[in-house]
């Protein structure tokens, strides 16, 4: 019984790097070897150290995955680097319950939020400390690190959104974010 | 047509004070005169400057209120002060779609998130920079500033959650957060 009690929340956030401290958080790591097939340059990919870290995702799931009307809170950290001229990036996904939205906000570093709608139009939004991004339903999303330090992004999304990685794994995005003349460009 | 374009998001967040800069944000202000009836000490309330600010809420509503599966992002700023021995606080509410959850996280200052379930059990969680709070469905929530500076709290919630202020306006919370021996206490 917690009536009249003053408690601490179970999870605490370091506001500088968004590391979450507390019991019910889940940590996922993706090394380059987990991203086979998502970069264009096979030669460059074959020559790179596949054990190096590509990104991590830390999530607080206060309710179980699939619960209607709940929310999750997460932090994505994308490491700096390129495969050929293509920046390190996340796999990217639509939501399984595909109309579910999501908020992202930049915390540290520099990158791009690559977005694609169901008509396969692809565009991007610049991610930097304080950039705030609304990702509407039916929009695939992927983060790329275009800078020299870690890109750290906060996120909040519905607990019944789920992830549909399959569509992107099979068909990809309709454009790639590459470095041209020292600047990121969608081609 | 934005295919292949690199854009800036419409709204930017100052990560220090969570002020949102950008067009589609909405600002609400609540002065003490807007909070008539929520504090216990009528004498103290009658002697206070009712034109002083109690709190502000800034919200980005990328979709219209009531849209299913969307999200809103907001910032609450509660000013420091007391009415008698009771801290300045927000009106508090259940969600109108009462099963909808919400995330709060402390950004600046010091306070309490006062929570009450449908059985009218009331408890609180300490709010401070980095405290992260999951407010499940069917839980009324209210913020109180227990410190000497502004309490700033970030929030993310479903765009179809809505606000039910009525239940709290009529029946209140079952406990009050007051200062006793210099410390906040639920009584």
Interface contact A60-B134, CB threshold 8 A: yes
Q: If you search the block for the tokens 């009450």, which residue do you land on?
A: B116
CA–CA distance, A157 with A56 (Å, rounded to integer):
17
CA–CA distance, B76 with B175 (Å, rounded to integer):
22
Alpha-carbon distance A51 to nearest alpha carbon in chain B (angstroms) = 31
Interface contact B20-A185, CB threshold 8 A: no
Query: In the structure, what pLDDT confidence band is assigned to residue B130 with cuts at 50, 70 and 90?
Result: very high
Alpha-carbon distance B46 to nearest alpha carbon in chain A (angstroms) = 28
Name which of B10, B63, B70 to mutate to probe chain A: the one with the most chain A Cβ atoms within 10 A of its Cβ: B70
- Listing DSSP states for B25-76 in one string gives EEEEEEEGGGGTTSSS-HHHHHHS-TTSEEEEEEEE-SS-TT-TT-EEEEEE
Residues of B in contact with A12 (CB under 8 A): 130-132
Instruction: Please report the pLDDT score of residue A37 as a whole number.
Output: 94
Which residues, other chains included, contact A46 with Cβ-Cβ below 8 Å and sequence gap of 6+? none
Q: How many CB pairs under 8 A join A and B?
A: 169
Residues of B in contact with A3 (CB under 8 A): 121-123, 174-175
Residues of B in contact with A105 (CB under 8 A): 13, 73
Q: What average pLDDT does this structure show over B12-21?
A: 95
Q: If you search the block for the tokens 């959850």, which residue do you land on?
A: B101
> Half-sphere exposure (CA, 13 Å, Cβ side) for B82?
17
Instruction: Please report the pLDDT score of residue B23 as a whole number.
Output: 80
Instruction: Please report the pLDDT score of residue A24 as a whole number.
Output: 83
Which residues, other chains included, contact A182 with Cβ-Cβ below 8 Å and sequence gap of 6+? none
Alpha-carbon separation of residue A166 from A31, B34, B115 (angstroms): 19, 51, 40
CA–CA distance, B168 with B177 (Å, rounded to integer):
15
Q: If you search the block for the tokens 């990036």, which residue do you land on?
A: A89
Instruction: Please report the pLDDT score of residue B1 as a whole number.
Output: 56
> What size, in residues, is chain B?
187
Interface contact B129-A15, CB threshold 8 A: yes
What tens-digit pLDDT sequence spans chain A (187 residues)? Answer: 589 999 999 999 999 999 999 988 999 999 999 999 999 999 999 999 999 999 999 999 999 999 999 999 999 999 999 999 999 999 999 999 999 999 999 999 999 999 999 999 999 999 999 999 999 999 999 999 999 999 999 999 999 999 999 999 999 999 999 999 999 999 9
Which residues, other chains included, contact A183 with Cβ-Cβ below 8 Å and sequence gap of 6+? none
Reply yes or no on whether the pLDDT at B171 is more than 70: yes
Q: Which of B63, B97, B134 sits opposite A62 (nearest CB)?
A: B134
Residue B136's closest CA among A82, A9, A80, A171? A9
Instruction: Please report the pLDDT score of residue A23 as a whole number.
Output: 80
Which residues, other chains included, contact A27 with Cβ-Cβ below 8 Å and sequence gap of 6+? A56, A57, A58
Q: Which of B8, B11, B184 sits opposite A126 (nearest CB)?
A: B8
Structure tokens belonging to residue A5: 């009690």
Q: What is the pTM assigned to this prediction? A: 0.97
Instruction: Please report the pLDDT score of residue A104 as a whole number.
Output: 98
ipTM: 0.96
Interface contact A103-B9, CB threshold 8 A: no
Alpha-carbon distance A20 to nearest alpha carbon in chain B (angstroms) = 9
């Amino acid at each position: 019984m917690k009536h009249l009690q003053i408690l601490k929340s179970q999870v605490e956030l370091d506001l500088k790097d968004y590391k979450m401290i507390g019991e019910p958080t889940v940590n996922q790591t993706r090394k380059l070897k987990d991203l086979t097939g998502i970069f264009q340059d096979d030669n460059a990919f074959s020559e790179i150290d596949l054990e190096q870290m590509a990104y991590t995702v830390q999530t607080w799931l206060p309710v179980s995955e699939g619960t209607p009307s709940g929310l999750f809170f997460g932090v994505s950290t994308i490491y700096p680097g390129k495969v050929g001229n293509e920046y390190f990036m996340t796999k990217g996904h639509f939501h399984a319950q595909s109309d579910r939205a999501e908020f992202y906000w930049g915390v540290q570093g520099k990158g791009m939020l690559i977005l694609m709608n169901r008509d396969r139009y692809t565009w991007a939004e610049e991610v930097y400390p304080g950039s705030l991004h609304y990702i509407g339903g039916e929009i695939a999303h992927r983060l790329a690190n275009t800078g020299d330090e870690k890109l750290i992004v906060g996120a909040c999304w519905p607990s019944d959104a789920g992830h549909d990685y399959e569509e992107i794994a099979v068909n990809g995005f309709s454009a790639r974010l590459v470095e041209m003349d020292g600047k990121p460009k969608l081609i």
